[in-house]
Amino acid sequence: MGRFDYVKYDDRALAAQNHFKDVVQDLEADIQAIGSVNPTSSVARAKSLALTKLEEVYMWIGKALRDDQIERNGTAELQEGRRNV
């Protein structure tokens, strides 16, 4: 199994991903609410950067969950239908 293979999450990793997705979505809503009354360009830029970092957080959580699952189980089922390009 290569480091860039897509793996199917087991129940434990899927539950963790769902939890973190809820947390990230709540943070996204909070970020979007900033400056909604009178947005300025500096506020818009700061919000954009915050949302980009939030996307990075979610991506790295996924990577950590994948790696943890492989470490726990010794391997993981590949996710069919996803191809590495």
Q: pLDDT tens digits, the chain, 85 residues: what are they?
A: 777 778 889 999 999 999 999 999 999 999 999 987 777 889 999 999 999 999 999 999 999 999 999 998 888 887 776 665 5
Contact 7, 64 (CB under 8 A): no
Is 61 among the domain residues? Answer: yes
pLDDT of residue 44: 92
Given this model, what pLDDT does residue 84 score?
58
Q: Which two tokens stand for residue 8?
A: 């199917």
Helices (H), the chain: 11-33, 41-73
CB atoms inside a 10 Å sphere around CB 43: 13
85 within domain boundaries: no
Which domain does 67 fall in, by range? 11-73
Distances in Å between the Cα of 45 and the Cα atoms of 19, 32, 51 are: 28, 12, 10
Residue at 43 is within a domain = yes
In a domain, 68, yes or no: yes
Q: Structurally, how many domains does the chain consist of?
A: 1
Q: What distances in angstroms separate CA 8 from CA 13, 58, 75, one per listed residue?
A: 9, 17, 11
Examine residue 24 and state whether it is found in any structural domain, yes or no. yes
Amino acid 1: pLDDT: 72
